[in-house]
Structure 1
Amino acid sequence: MDRSDKPRVVLGVSGGIAAYKACELLRRLTESGHDVRVVPTASALRFVGEPTWAALSGNPVTTGVWDDVQEVPHVRIGQEADLVVVAPATADTLARAAHGLADDLLTNTLLTARCPVVFAPAMHTEMWEHPATVENVATLRRRGAVVVEPAVGRLTGKDTGKGRLPEPAEIFEVCRRVLARGAAGRPDLAGRHVVVSAGGTREPLDPVRFLGNRSSGRQGYALARTAVARGARVTLVAANTALADPAGADVVRVGTAVQLREAVLKAAADADAVVMAAAVADFRPADYAQRKIKKREGREPEPVALVRNPDVLAELSAERPRPGQVVVGFAAETDDVLANGRAKLARKGCDLLVVNEVGEERTFGSDENEAVVLGADGSETPVPHGPKEALADIVWDEVVRRLSAE
């Protein structure tokens, strides 16, 4: 692909120890066909040198407003970009961006850019939680920037907490989704808190066995990633998944249906929308064996008595912990898909129900899906076979439409 045909990305790098991780983000952007121009701050160059950025991007690295003045870099770089992503974004960079300062090339680029802008903050927990940073982040989001929530983990020194730069692969996914939506794809979930459940619950039978299902969590994770790219604050309740945490999502890990119910109801208290994509077990063993159930020669095993698990979707739909909250359910069916889906939609009382046909080689564990989104208002939106993130975007389109009608 000719360089002029490639999406143009500006990678801003500010002066934090996580600057080295931006090298991996740069590699992913260039290898996936993007023309990347790196704009590091003077402090960033104390962590990663200019030759590294030039070698990985294949582009010259301009570090100051006085370099290559004839090309007017402080204006042109931002004007020509399809996306600007700042990773890591320090507290200082967020503050200068929020207040419209233009004292270096990166802040000039942010002021001249008319394309989507993504910030991936990285700093110590105290800095992230300081009222000044909180207000600066709110300002940037209100103006249409996507500010990705930092991850929780090891920071510099011995400190651990929220403020760690999300993994570059996950930041790349946010950038990819933002670019796919284009300049017109404003962050229409900005200022919204959404809750997504994903994966499949497991109901213990004894210390080594459980009753479970085949759900991988991929659809729920796709919903979380697309919501982050659309500007939402995302709580992801993950049941027994083996997937990387989506950048920008607060991940709550659970095991059983009872644990999932507790986590979802807690997170839903201030949520604008709840999407129940997890496969929640309908039943659990009535009794839990404290020791492994042994096989006895010549004797059949005792029947396993089951009891009902709480119906989390129906409970959410009935109680609506927040007025105007939009509740979305999923229905995995093996036959009479639409008929069963319509019956479940009426029974559960949710606003939207995503109905798909499942099986051992369909949907579960796959990166693709095919579904119909049924609405309590009688709407019916078929989603053709394709990536799960495409279905996720259609679900959020329907959620946004209902939130906008409040």
Structure 2
Amino acid sequence: MGALRGPALARLLTEAGYGVKPLLAPGAERFVGPAAFAAAGVPLSGPPEDPDAVAFAPAGPDVLSRLAWGVADAPTFEKALSGRRGCVVALEMDAGTLAHPAVRRNIRRVRESGCRVLEPEGGRMAPPGGIAAALFRSLGGELAGRRIVVTAGGTREPLDAVRFIGNRSSGKMGLAVAREALARGADVSVVAANLGTPEPGVEWIPVETVAEMERAVLGAVAEADALIMAAAVSDFTPAAPGRGKVRRREGLKVEFRSTPDILARVRESFPHLFMIGFAAAFGDPLPDAREKLERKGADIIVGNDISRPEIGFGSDENEVCIVSRGEERRVGRASKREIARVILDVLISELNRKGQT
């Protein structure tokens, strides 16, 4: 039941900095009640006086019909039908109902009125992340109309058919940046190196090796406004990986060669693309960030100290220095979502300075 996903949707919107007021339709409390929303940090309350956006989640054929034909008999419907920019309708209905000609006509009418309609997946309402992404886009934001490419995770290079060398990157920093960019209205593509469940609301491009990431990034940034390279990319790869499985009795001796410099390749192919790179240092990251800014031709370098376990790989927190050609800023220990907000603040400031917004 889509109603059960309501608290998760409310939590996503709250974490993105939006005020949320859930309203339960008659009978919905049999499936999800005040305690579920309170646990998500969003208590139930009365109708908002002047909402910026309205989401109908889930919406069945009756809700769809009332929106299509202007039946404004409740505050939420009045706001949705008043021409406000933020209206998302997340349908939940079986395939037969969805295919009915009357339902298809109603979907067209609702879309023509300016609402975003999310069709069900296998009869079920779209996941909370997808609904939140649609709301973010309908609300606009500082990055509305922008396409941002984010890399996340850690690459793996094959030793043979079953083994690889890699790193300890969890992808948390890159995903935090992607979520924050999405919350600010951007269209986001994530080049995901060895991560698990795809992030809702973004274009998800899974890769494994540095070579795969290079191809994916060069393809994704062709229509992008900015690239944020938060992934941990291997510096070396086996020169001649084994075709099968190397047996223990055979021993293993590996010769390595350097991997491509993806940021340098992107800068060569797209000289005007805004690029943010990351510099993982063992100790004070500021010198490495300054050097990398010049050597790679990036616009911003984010340096972080991976020697400290509380802010290193896999941690939920980080502490960084952000170096651009206009300023250097140290950001104290905070959640990776807070760090992502500061990074995007600097990105927007630099785009403004360059006259690109």
TM-score by length of 1: 0.67
Deviation at 1:370, TM superposition (A): 0.6
Matched, 1:343 2:291: yes
Matched, 1:380 2:323: no
Deviation at 1:186, TM superposition (A): 6.1
State the partner residue of 2:56: 86
Give, as a single letter, the amino acid of the residue that structure 1 aligns with 2:342.
I
SS at match of 2:198: coil
CA-to-aligned-CA distance 1:321-378 (integer Å, 9 cap, x gap): 7x5x311111111034211111111111011111000037232111111101111x23
SS at match of 1:191: coil
Percent sequence identity is 34
Q: Using the alignment, how far apart are the partners of 1:256 and 1:93 within structure 2? A: 47
Gaps of 5+ in 1: 1-19, 60-75, 141-146, 157-162, 179-184
State the partner residue of 1:267: 220
- CA gap of 1:312–1:386, structure 2 versus 1, over 3 A, is same
- CA gap of 1:360–1:254, structure 2 versus 1, over 3 A, is farther
State the partner residue of 2:39: none
- CA gap of 1:104–1:207, structure 2 versus 1, over 3 A, is farther
Q: Using the alignment, how far apart are the partners of 1:94 and 1:384 within structure 2? A: 48
Deviation at 1:101, TM superposition (A): 5.1
Deviation at 1:246, TM superposition (A): 2.6
Deviation at 1:401, TM superposition (A): 2.3
Q: Using the alignment, how far apart are the partners of 1:100 and 1:187 within structure 2? A: 30
Please give the residue correspondences for 1:245-284 in structure 2 after superposition, counting only pairs within 5 Å: 245-284=198-237
CA-to-aligned-CA distance 1:121-143 (integer Å, 9 cap, x gap): 4588999xx9x97x959966xxx
Q: Using the alignment, how far apart are the partners of 2:6 and 2:280 within structure 1? A: 36
Q: Using the alignment, how far apart are the partners of 1:356 and 1:92 within structure 2? A: 52
- CA gap of 1:118–1:368, structure 2 versus 1, over 3 A, is farther
- CA gap of 1:259–1:372, structure 2 versus 1, over 3 A, is same
Q: Using the alignment, how far apart are the partners of 1:256 and 1:240 within structure 2? A: 9
SS at match of 2:159: strand
Give, as a single letter, the amino acid of the residue that structure 2 aligns with 1:316.
V
State the partner residue of 1:202: 156
Moved more, 83-92 or 385-394: 83-92
SS at match of 1:206: coil
Deviation at 1:208, TM superposition (A): 1.8
State the partner residue of 1:57: 34
Q: Using the alignment, how far apart are the partners of 2:66 and 2:304 within structure 1? A: 47
SS at match of 1:77: coil
Contact 1:150 1:248 survives alignment (8 Å): no
Deviation at 1:28, TM superposition (A): 7.2
Q: Using the alignment, how far apart are the partners of 1:109 and 1:50 within structure 2? A: 21
- CA gap of 1:57–1:108, structure 2 versus 1, over 3 A, is farther
- CA gap of 1:171–1:286, structure 2 versus 1, over 3 A, is same
Gaps of 5+ in 2: 37-45
Please give the residue correspondences for 1:124-273 in structure 2 after superposition, counting only pairs within 5 Å: 136=111, 154-156=121-123, 165-166=126-127, 168=128, 170=129, 187-242=141-196, 244-273=197-226
SS at match of 1:342: helix
RMSD value, Cα: 4.3
- CA gap of 1:110–1:235, structure 2 versus 1, over 3 A, is same
State the partner residue of 1:107: 77
Matched, 1:294 2:247: yes
State the partner residue of 2:301: 353
- Which of 365, 376, 381 is equivalent to 2:314? 365
State the partner residue of 1:395: 343
TM-score by length of 2: 0.76
CA-to-aligned-CA distance 1:52-109 (integer Å, 9 cap, x gap): 26x61379xxxxxxxxxxxxxxxx8241658744334689989998x99563423313
- Which of 237, 252, 261 is equivalent to 1:311? 261
Matched, 1:119 2:88: yes
Deviation at 1:303, TM superposition (A): 3.0
SS at match of 1:314: helix
Moved more, 80-89 or 358-367: 80-89
Please give the residue correspondences for 1:71-82 in structure 2 after superposition, counting only pairs within 5 Å: 77-79=47-49
